[in-house]
Structure 1
Amino acid sequence: MANESTGGPPRIVVVGSGFAGFECARRLRRSLRDTGARIIMVSPNDYMLYTPLLPEVAGGILDARFVTIALSDALPGVELVRGAVDSIDLDNRTVHVTDCEAGAEVLSWDRLVFTPGSVTRLFDIPGLLDHGRGLKTPAEALYFRDQLLTQLEMASRDTDPRESRARRTFVVVGASYAGTELIAQLRALADSAAARQGLDPTAVRFVLLDAADKVMPEVGEKLGAQVLDVLRSRGIEVRLETTLTELTENSVTLSDGTVLPTHTVAWVTGVTANPLVDTLGLPTEKGRLKVAADLSVEGHPGVFAGGDAAAVPDPRHQGSITPPTAQHAVRQGRTLARNVAASLGVGEAKPYAHRDMGLVVDLGPGFAVANPLGIPLSGLPAKVVTRLYHLFAMPSPVNRWAVGLAYLTDLLFPRPLVSIGLATETQAQFAVSQGIGARN
């Protein structure tokens, strides 16, 4: 097996360390172990982030380190280039990378695996970039935890009633998985703080908005109705068919004209493909790079793509593409590894196929919803299934151990009320945390 241009070992460059890129590199390391192939991963981070547990980081159950899998430990033998990919030259087979100190590096490749993931989907709403915060990074999750605790502490000493109400009002936009889990965890953290600080928990206001007419339509009508009932029973205001039209430092304006004084707005309305897709000049579908059933990019031999940035044909739904979920990204990472290896003469290529394993959604103390293998569950049984699923899916025994101990601690002790200040307001802005500063 040789480099097609130099005669040396083939160079495989994996762009991105998310679920798809991580799983692809991990599988390639095994399948190409005896071939001499070089696997190079390019990522601005030295970890893979287990994003489904970010709401529990925001809620104070988990430490941010517990959901970050160190690439050096998990991917021995894979070369890591820490930096942001600025451009990809498909004709000359090179990737241009800029590191955190503005140093530039050009990497050549024989096989390119394009898995840069996604970023929060933004809209052209006045004030959103400055005053809204997402939930795609550890900095954003830590910001919400610290922000909630800080605002409650400041509200208890504020002499201005309007300002005190604003500090105790938290708005989350997006009633799908992440937004619903986030508001449930923040509600639980606020209730814990109120109980130990002598506050009236009903004075802490949580408002969940969504332009859709249902909460979490992905789980089905029956489970969705249960989710809605649980949220409202915990004092969370749910306003459907409603969104934001403007954000300021001290308030938000809703689409129905209501003005809510608040200092905390979470924008969790879904994702869009990484902006790097637009620089390739290749066909896209719904903003994602079009790929064939085997995840190859047509017209560019040796180029493969998967995960949130790729429009992968869904074999179970003719004419559709797979949704941008972690479950699909992991499976596509396995297919990417198999087909990249096959293109180098190891094994046999196959199209992407999947079986729907269901979903799990954690909704705070004592409640979750899940439908493993199509079996609808709610309450404590779903809670057990949800936590066991995350422990099983965590791709590192160290992280699995840490998360398991944190879950046990959560059963025995109240949540810690600590605002460490690790993530500042600026660090949690979209432009800094996710590198997006314009409408996507």
Structure 2
Amino acid sequence: MSTTERPRILVVGGGYVGLYAAKRIMKKMRYGEATVTVVDPRSYMTYQPFLPEVAAGSISPRHVVVPLRRVLPKAEVLTGRVTSIDQDRKVAVVTPLVGEAYELPFDYLVIALGAVSRTFPIPGLAEQGIGMKGVEEGIGLRNHVLEQLDKAESTTDENVRRKALTFVFVGGGFAGAETIGEVEDMARDAAKYYTTIKREDMRFILVDAADKILPEVGPKLGTWGKEHLESRGIEIYLNTSMDSCVDGHVVLKNGLEVDSDTIVWTAGVKPNPALARYGLPLGPRGHVDTAPTLQVQGTDYIWAAGDNAQVPDVASRKAGVENAWCPPNAQHALRQAKVLGDNVVSGMRGFPQKEYEHSNKGAVAGLGLHKGVAMIVMGKMKIKLKGRLAWYMHRGYHGMAMPTWNRKIRVFADWTLGMFLKREVVALGALETPREEFYEAAKPAPAPAAAAAPAQKAKAS
């Protein structure tokens, strides 16, 4: 970390908002006008809408992450966490991955921590559940599902086999519906290479407490999405929830009980709990309370946006919707980050702030290869698409929204190769414990009984 006499703009979080806001600030400010410092526990940003395709093997995991130091070469990138903020002194406490915590002074602050999985105190969930918020979880889910097929093929125990081939997904929003659609597609393809496993032997279950899935695309497309998934043999249980999953024994509120080694939790997100330690004004659900200018309420040097912010939806309020807030999605995060970056530079120069206003442009979702739903908003008209055309819209939109041309090209290259080459069905579960085999080879061998006997005899004499 370098010391500087220039004003410091501290960006807390290197996700979608943090990356784009820092990039925008550095583009707009003059040379030497300020130092931009980005602090995040990871040295890369993850494009989360592509995690279902990572889990299905349609995109290489490395291609959905963007290295912060490469994209922000003129910024300070610190790998660690901001554990507390002293607003009176304008000092943040940074805890690096290794070493002692230290204080970092700042002049302007951007809060872009994003969200974490919203969980409930369900017995067994912490031990059995798999989330879908990071690229590590996407890789882990893919390896885990393929390992379950290996396990089922290799056992003679029918109970073990049935448990291995039962996959439970909790949450029917974008993350849940897209992930179960992609993973079912992958498992169906993978089953062709197993002699004793067919798609009919697998059981896929989707559970949601709401009365519909995919609420983001509207009721009609949500109903079509549900019917489509059910036509592929996926069981969908609405208006229900999971009571427990201890040791993989899943108990649902509707009375259904199944044993499963795979429990994927995608039941929504909540603001990062670290926000509670920053002394910022928070909304009823823990989001940072911001003005339409993305400035934190009551301050003129702190901004927040994205999943950790409660941002007024100016466009909806002008249309007559009271107390409308911007939903936590990539569409708003990208645009908020640009306005936020402009406002930070304006605030630093003493210029007026600009309000964030954006009308919803629709939503797209992929449900597996060549399958999807899309709702495109054009003025007062809503265009609803389903099937292959919607799937093209989904890939086209997110492919272009992927940060940097380097990553866009790599993602489109993955998709192009996928048109001509068969899907990879290799499980690399050993990646999670890469030293295990070396440890077994290198650990000291126990002394042979024959060698130990003379020593004991000499000691006795």
* Counterpart secondary structure, 1:375: strand
Percentage of identical aligned residues? 37
1:150 paired residue among 147, 151, 155? 147
1:253 paired residue among 238, 251, 254? 251
2-structure distance, mates of 1:201, 1:366: 19
1:279 paired residue among 253, 257, 277? 277
Query: 1:143, 1:423 within 8 Å by CA — same for their partners in 2?
Result: no
Query: 2:365, 2:394 within 8 Å by CA — same for their partners in 1?
Result: yes
TM-score normalized by the length of structure 2: 0.88
Write the letter of the residue equivalent to 2:201.
A
Write the letter of the residue equivalent to 1:302.
Y
1:403 and 2:408 matched: no
Of structures 1 and 2, the larger Rg is shown by 2
Write the letter of the residue equivalent to 1:307.
G
Give the superposition deviation at 1:201.
Answer: 0.8
- In the other structure, the counterpart of 1:306 is 305
1-structure distance, mates of 2:399, 2:280: 38
CA gap 1:73/1:182 in 2 versus in 1, 3 angstroms: same
Query: 2:147, 2:429 within 8 Å by CA — same for their partners in 1?
Result: no
Give the superposition deviation at 1:355.
Answer: 2.1
Write the letter of the residue equivalent to 2:172.
A
Give the superposition deviation at 1:244.
Answer: 0.6
1:113 paired residue among 110, 113, 121? 110
Write the letter of the residue equivalent to 2:313.
D
Structure with more contact order per residue of length (Cα contacts < 8 Å, sep ≥ 6): 1
Q: How does 1:75-114 map to 2 (within 5 A)?
A: 75-114=72-111
CA gap 1:239/1:102 in 2 versus in 1, 3 angstroms: farther
Query: 1:90, 1:300 within 8 Å by CA — same for their partners in 2?
Result: no
- In the other structure, the counterpart of 2:120 is 123
1:58 paired residue among 30, 39, 55? 55
- In the other structure, the counterpart of 1:430 is none
Write the letter of the residue equivalent to 1:362.
G
Gaps of 5+ in 1: 1-5, 426-440
2:424 paired residue among 412, 416, 427? 416
Query: 1:84, 1:99 within 8 Å by CA — same for their partners in 2?
Result: yes
Q: How does 1:207-356 map to 2 (within 5 A)?
A: 207-285=205-283, 286-315=285-314, 316-317=316-317, 318-345=322-349, 348-356=352-360
1-structure distance, mates of 2:112, 2:427: 34
2-structure distance, mates of 1:16, 1:288: 15
- In the other structure, the counterpart of 1:389 is 397
- Aligned structure 1 segments of 4 or more residues deviating by more than 3 angstroms: 422-425
Query: 1:166, 1:251 within 8 Å by CA — same for their partners in 2?
Result: no
- In the other structure, the counterpart of 2:371 is 367
Gaps of 5+ in 2: 434-461
TM-score normalized by the length of structure 1: 0.92
Query: 1:185, 1:364 within 8 Å by CA — same for their partners in 2?
Result: yes
RMSD: 1.8
1-structure distance, mates of 2:44, 2:4: 32
Worse overlay, 344-353 or 370-379: 344-353
Give the superposition deviation at 1:376.
Answer: 0.9
CA gap 1:361/1:29 in 2 versus in 1, 3 angstroms: same
Q: How far does the alpha carbon of each residue in 1:253-310 deviate from its partner, in whole angstroms, 9 at most, with x for none?
A: 1112221110110010110000111112333222101111111123333111111111
* Counterpart secondary structure, 2:154: coil
CA gap 1:347/1:66 in 2 versus in 1, 3 angstroms: farther
2-structure distance, mates of 1:69, 1:21: 12
2-structure distance, mates of 1:423, 1:210: 32
- In the other structure, the counterpart of 1:191 is 188
* Counterpart secondary structure, 1:377: strand
- In the other structure, the counterpart of 1:436 is none
Q: Which has the higher helix share?
A: 2
